[in-house]
Structures are given as structure tokens and as C-alpha cells.
Chains A and B, each alone.
Chain A
Amino acid sequence: DADVTQTPRNRITKTGKRIMLECSQTKGHDRMYWYRQDPGLGLRLIYYSFDVKDINKGEISDGYSVSRQAQAKFSLSLESAIPNQTALYFCATSRINEQFFGPGTRLTVL
């Protein structure tokens, strides 16, 4: 059941720190995504990648960067974390349409 894994699951950090969230998948999918979830706002797309050489900005990419190290790995970085980046972060993968989500990373920026 751990087709999409995220590390860490929880992280508390301070303003200005650099943070990396990691995602790995064993589904063999080419497409990977990073979403942010805030209460009452649903899921918002940060970045997505359709293969190792393809990176695209989503609707809220400011303050974030990503790296697609391999087909199975897609990491999200916050270069200088700020408190309004406190949220639940989800990684997802897909072959075409249906997206499979990881368990999420709860990030708190103090």
C-alpha cells in the first residue's frame, strides 16, 4: 500500500530555513505532482513533472522549487521557509488521468 511515500511525515522548522520534502513512488508512473492543502481551500498545485526532463509550474509555485532526480523521485524545496507556508503537502503520481496520492507531509513554519 506504500506505492507513494513521502518523507518526512511531519516537520517543524523556523522562518528562513531551507526545507526539502521528498517523494518516492514504485508505481512506475512518469507523471508526478506536488500539492499544498490548506483548510477550506482544497488542493492547490505547486509543481508538476511529466518526465525526468520536464518541470512545470503550477498555480502557486512562488517560494518553492522542485527537482526530479529520477522517474521515481520528485522533491519539493522551500528555499527560505515562511509561516504562511505552513500546510499539508501531498505528492501524487499518475500514468494519465487518475492521480495516486502519498500520505502527506505536515509542515509547520514558526
Chain B
Amino acid sequence: GESVGLHLPTLSVQEGDNSIINCAYSNSASDYFIWYKQESGKGPQFIIDIRSNMDKRQGQRVTVLLNKTVKHLSLQIAATQPGDSAVYFCAGRIQGAQKLVFGQGTRLTINP
């Protein structure tokens, strides 16, 4: 099977700084990963995804890095804003499977 875990349950950064949220996975056959943001009282919202044939993918203020050698991925948020405060989840999918396995989440707090 697959297990996905986040390294830190909480992370605090100063507004304007960059933040990095880390995630590890266990199954080398995982071929797709996705990051979600969950604000208080809402369902998770898609941020960015990456396939295993890529090392890096960029979106607006966000970058996902994938290191298949150590089975690790990270979400980098540039120039953090108060609206970035939320719980962030990574999820992975094993090749051929149709289900996502979610990590426990990291709560990101942006300090003014």
C-alpha cells in the first residue's frame, strides 16, 4: 500500500517570508501527487499537482518539488500572505490505483 506523511503538524512563518511544507511517501510506485489547502470550515481545495516524471512544477506563488530518490515532496509558498493560513495536505496515488492517500496535514500560520 501507500502511506503519506507530513513532517510537521504545525508551521509558523512571518508574513512576506517563504514557507516550505514537507511530505514523505512510502511506495516507490506512487506516480502522482497533489497538494490541497483547507481553510477553516471549508473543504480541501486543489493547489497544485505533479506527476512522477517531473521534479518540479510551478504555479502562482507555489512550487512543488519531488525527490523520488528519497520519496519526498515539498510545497513552497513564496511571499506568504495572511490568506495562506490554512491546513495543507499532500496526497499520493500508486500507479494503477485510482485512490488518493492523504497525509495528516500541516497547519500553516502566517504571523503579521
Mark A residues whose CB is within 8 Å of B.
Answer: 4, 31, 35, 40-45, 48, 50, 58, 90, 92, 97-104
Contact = CB atoms under 8 A, between A and B. Distances in A.
B43 A101 contact: yes
A55 to B, nearest CB: 13
Interface residues of B, number: 21
B46 A45 contact: no
Interface of B: 9, 32, 34, 36, 41-46, 49, 89, 91, 93, 98-100, 102-105
Given A50-B98, A97-B32, A99-B100, A42 B89 contact: yes
Contact of A40 (B32, B41, B104): B104
A45 B34 contact: no
Contacts of A92: 43
B83 to A, nearest CB: 16
Given A40-B9, A97-B32, A58 B46 contact: no
